[in-house]
Amino acid sequence: MLMLLKLLKDGRFHSGEALGAALGVSRSAVWKQLQHLEAELNLPIHKVRGRGYQLATPLVFLDAAQISLGAAPLAWPVHIFDSIDSTNAEALRLVAANCAAPFVVVAEQQTAGRGRRGRKWISPFAQNVYYSLVLRIEGGLRQLEGLSLVVGLAVMQVLRELGVQGAALKWPNDVLVGCKKISGILLELVGDPADICHVVLGIGINVNMQKADEVDQQWTSMQLETGFPVDRNHLVARLGLQLQSYLDRHKIAGFAGLQEEWELHHLWQGKPVSLIAGASQIDGVVLGVDRQGALRLDVDGVEKIYSGGELSLRLRDDS
């Protein structure tokens, strides 16, 4: 089925006879594959008698050579998959198989993409970026302090660089445009954080997605914000360079060296919010973050600090 998609990726009309000849199958088999493409990958296909079949929108597939060329002088190996459960899961499997870090895993589609707190991350085929960078961390918890916030800064800067000027941060690891989510970050760790461990920096970016009925929150994409499709290979290359820049700064100065910059771009700085922790809710006003990346809230006139992976932040007037 993916071979058929690669024949159609140019967005031009192709006759059923020509497609069948290229694939070595009958025209009826081509028709069945086209139906599967539409149903399983949610890719609209125009069917015109006498002209053939055409993808509604041309596709550009991820290409390791293009990514590496655009990300020079980075030397991170890039593993590309057509379809996997999730890039984070594959990254952890590669760590278990002793694949040397740093390396990157990207996919055209995830069948079980996930975000924080077990939420599903919608992953349509060849429309967005599903990206995991694996780092080896030696000798110190300090290198992990505020790391998800640092990744958020890198993602935000790439989005702005490529035309999404309204991109801003939401603690602890979302990138929003106004009230709409455009990117999410999920960090996973394996090993001993006090000695030697590996951390997976998982990043999902809505790139060229224009429709997703399954998403249960407000969202947007780069194409919806800019009005034009984005070259995902260029985006992945620029993301790698921005990540390297911010990770280098974090390694030298810790999160404390990026704290002020992060607060400057925090969309909810100074806003009344509710912090959800399980069944409990804490109301306060966002003061910022501390030197480790924890949230600082003014709760009834008293500054309190909150951190942890199971916390969720909402605007107080958020319905």
Are 169 and 153 in contact by the 8 Å Cβ rule? The answer is: yes
Confirm whether pTM is higher than 0.85. Answer: yes
Identity of the residue numbered 256: A
Between the alpha carbon of residue 299 and those of residues 268, 282, 303, the distances in Å are 15, 8, 6
In 3D, which of 109, 18, 101, 8 has the Cα closest to residue 58?
8
Structure tokens at 194: 């006090």
* CATH number belonging to domain 2-55: 1.10.10.10
Q: Give, for all 319 residues of the chain, the pLDDT tens digit.
A: 678 888 998 889 999 999 999 999 998 999 988 888 887 777 778 989 889 999 887 888 999 999 999 999 899 999 999 999 999 999 999 999 999 999 999 999 998 876 555 555 567 889 999 999 999 998 777 788 999 999 999 999 999 999 999 999 999 999 999 999 999 999 999 998 888 899 999 999 999 988 766 666 799 999 999 999 999 999 999 999 999 999 999 999 999 999 999 999 999 999 999 999 888 999 999 999 999 999 999 999 999 999 876 788 999 875 3
CATH class entry, domain 268-315: mainly beta
Residue ranges of the binding site: 86-88, 110, 114-116, 181
64-263 placed in CATH 3.30.930.10: yes
Residue ranges of the binding site for biotin: 86-88, 110, 114-116, 181
What residue ranges do the domains of the chain occupy? 2-55, 64-263, 268-315
Q: Which residues are catalytic?
A: 116, 181, 314
Q: Do 2-55 and 64-263 agree at the fold level?
A: no
